[in-house]
Amino acid sequence: MLVGRVRWMAVAALGVVALASVRAQQVAPSAGGGKALTVQRIYSQPSLNGKLTRGLAWTPSSKQISYFESKGAGKEAHSEFWVLDAGSGERQILISSDKLESALPAELTKKTQATGLGRHAPAEYRWSPKGDALLFVGTSSLAWYDVKTQTAKTLTSGKEAIADAKISPDGRTVSFVRAHNVWLVDLASGTERALTKGGTEEIRKGELDWVYPEELEIQTAYWWAPDSSAIAYLEMNESKVSQFPLVDFNSFDGRAEMQRYPVAGGANPIVHVYVAPVSGGAAKLMDTGAQNEIYIPRVNWLPDSRQLAIQRLNRPQTVLELLLAEASSGKSRVVLTDKDDYWINLSDDLHFLKDGKRFLWSSERSGYRHIYLYGIDGKQQAQLTRGDW
């Protein structure tokens, strides 16, 4: 579950920092010569900051942690890509600085005014499902790096911004959001195409607005089916949401950018869920009811790739319903409902078991959040945790 993954990531981060600190002490055991710390020592080499790491992630095997490590300063600054064995603590360079420089999308190799990270824009990356390749994500381009051959190729590039890049579960396709639509790149042929069409600033397809990630803590607006056959996505109609000007302080003339922000009591985006087959064809609308004054804060595929779990929340956030929808027809049914007189906290604890017949659901209905086991028919089978905690 998400909480567990976050805790393991925190442990991993602390482990990397601790190991780096120990090694730094081993390399320079008494850099100050046992004397009092002086201004001259603070600004001399080797740096007292230790080694900077970023981009911590588990490899697909869950046995190693990968990360970028910055070295040097000023014009000599460079980054390397490392992996660290979680069991032994041993680490090794996976991609050297010179190869990383050529592999990263062009805009990530340009010098920036960022501080502390070698004056390079930070890079995002995704591991392929098999752990044999890496997807490097730039602001407007994507690069694919083959770990075995140590070679890279550009998947797509341009002037328009790219967001929310993902690799399909079968490792054959890369998806991303550009120009308010979801796009696909076939890794074998390099062919690029739009999965959704008609997306605009007002009608966003597979792209989040401001309020959903800010208030509902949702991080994406589209989801790959486990078998890679389809993508479920949110369509957000923002045409009635208020707009406010925000000054772009990076611009020379102080130009303003318009930001849609739903004020209290004002219009929220109207959100629908669609499923689009990757092979082509029209997207199917999922039935989430006739009421538009709702939130769709969570969407999950079931293991069979035939059904979607859609959470529907009323605007006062006092009624949360779990719907199961057929991906092929869009027909849905309410499986369970949680109610509270005042407020319902959302979670990421929904988990379907491999048999596809049962799922875990957390609820604060008792006054404390606990885990419950449900059948796919919506009947509670067991309460798995208890206590005033």
pLDDT of residue 15: 54
DSSP 113: S
pLDDT of residue 113: 41
User: Pseudo-torsion of CA 106, 107, 108, 112, nearest 10°?
Assistant: 140
User: Under 8 Å CB-to-CB from 358, ≥6 apart: which residues?
Assistant: 352, 373, 374, 375, 376, 381
Judge whether 143 and 135 are in contact, CB under 8 Å.
Answer: yes
Judge whether 371 and 365 are in contact, CB under 8 Å.
Answer: no
Judge whether 344 and 361 are in contact, CB under 8 Å.
Answer: no
- Mean pLDDT taken over the chain: 88
pLDDT of residue 158: 87
Q: Is the pLDDT of residue 7 over 70?
A: no
Q: Is the pLDDT of residue 1 over 60?
A: no
pLDDT of residue 140: 92
Residue whose structure tokens are 């460079």 = 78
SS3 of residue 213 by DSSP: helix
- In percent, the amount of the chain with pLDDT more than 70 equals 86
pLDDT band at 111 (very low <50, low <70, confident <90, very high): very low
Work out the average pLDDT over 178-190.
97
**Amino acid at position 168, single letter:** S
Work out the average pLDDT over 235-258.
92
pLDDT band at 106 (very low <50, low <70, confident <90, very high): low
SS3 of residue 39 by DSSP: helix
Work out the average pLDDT over 271-283.
97
pLDDT of residue 45: 80
Distances (CA, A) of 279 to 76, 173, 224, 227: 48, 12, 13, 13
User: Under 8 Å CB-to-CB from 61, ≥6 apart: which residues?
Assistant: 131
Which alpha helices (H) appear in 49-136, and where do they start and end? 97-103
pLDDT of residue 21: 45
pLDDT of residue 114: 40
pLDDT of residue 115: 37
Work out the average pLDDT over 235-263.
92
Q: Is the pLDDT of residue 110 over 80?
A: no
Work out the average pLDDT over 55-66.
96
Q: State how far the Cα of 104 lies from the Cα of 152, in Å rounded to an integer.
A: 8
The Cβ-side half-sphere exposure at 301, using a 13 Å CA radius, reads 21
pLDDT of residue 101: 86
Q: Is the pLDDT of residue 5 over 80?
A: no
Residue 42 token pair: 């603070």
Q: State how far the Cα of 201 lies from the Cα of 160, in Å rounded to an integer.
A: 14
CB atoms within 10 A of CB 102: 12
From the list 322, 300, 302, the residue with the least C-alpha distance to 311 is 322
**Amino acid at position 10, single letter:** A
pLDDT in tens, 127-144: 999 999 999 999 999 999
Work out the average pLDDT over 289-295.
96
Q: State how far the Cα of 339 lies from the Cα of 318, in Å rounded to an integer.
A: 6
Judge whether 172 and 187 are in contact, CB under 8 Å.
Answer: yes
Residue 300: φ, ψ to 5°: -135, 140
Q: Is the pLDDT of residue 42 over 80?
A: yes
Q: State how far the Cα of 222 lies from the Cα of 231, in Å rounded to an integer.
A: 7
pLDDT of residue 13: 52
- In percent, the amount of the chain with pLDDT more than 90 equals 73
pLDDT band at 83 (very low <50, low <70, confident <90, very high): very high
pLDDT of residue 105: 76
Work out the average pLDDT over 17-28.
45
How many helices (DSSP H) and strands (DSSP E) are in the chain?
4, 27
User: Under 8 Å CB-to-CB from 59, ≥6 apart: which residues?
Assistant: 65, 66, 83, 127, 131
pLDDT of residue 231: 98
pLDDT in tens, 313-364: 999 999 999 999 999 999 999 999 999 999 999 999 999 999 989 999 999 9
Judge whether 126 and 134 are in contact, CB under 8 Å.
Answer: yes
Distances (CA, A) of 127 to 136, 147, 173, 220, 297: 9, 10, 13, 18, 26
